[in-house]
Amino acid sequence: MTAIYSSAALKTRQREIKDEAMKRVVHITENGNAAFVFCSEEVFESELRRAREAAAYEERMRAVLERGRADVVDGNTVEGTDAALAEIARRAAHRV
């Protein structure tokens, strides 16, 4: 659940906002519009770590998709389950 407070609440509900900021990112509005975000150092570091992990995952997925596209262009494909299993067995036999 997103924590949203008005900028006026920064004066009247300071403790509540700080308590929320210890758990999650708090959004502060001005005149009903998004204006600021507020959070603890721990939450900030956690959000940065999550963003880095998501970016790394997206990069790995991009690389896999690009490799797959190149395989299709180069004709390195098989069609059907039997052909796929045979290719896996063939490659496994060559590794030994």
- Write the pLDDT tens digit of every residue in 5-20: 999 999 999 999 999 9
**47 Cβ contact list (under 8 Å, min separation 6):** 25, 39
pLDDT at 73: 96
pLDDT at 95: 82
Where does the pLDDT of residue 41 fall: very low under 50, low under 70, confident under 90, or very high at 90 and above?
very high
For tokens 């004709």, the residue is 75
Does residue 96 carry a pLDDT above 80? no
**What is the reported pTM?**
0.69
- Mean of all residue pLDDT scores within the chain: 95
Where does the pLDDT of residue 25 fall: very low under 50, low under 70, confident under 90, or very high at 90 and above?
very high
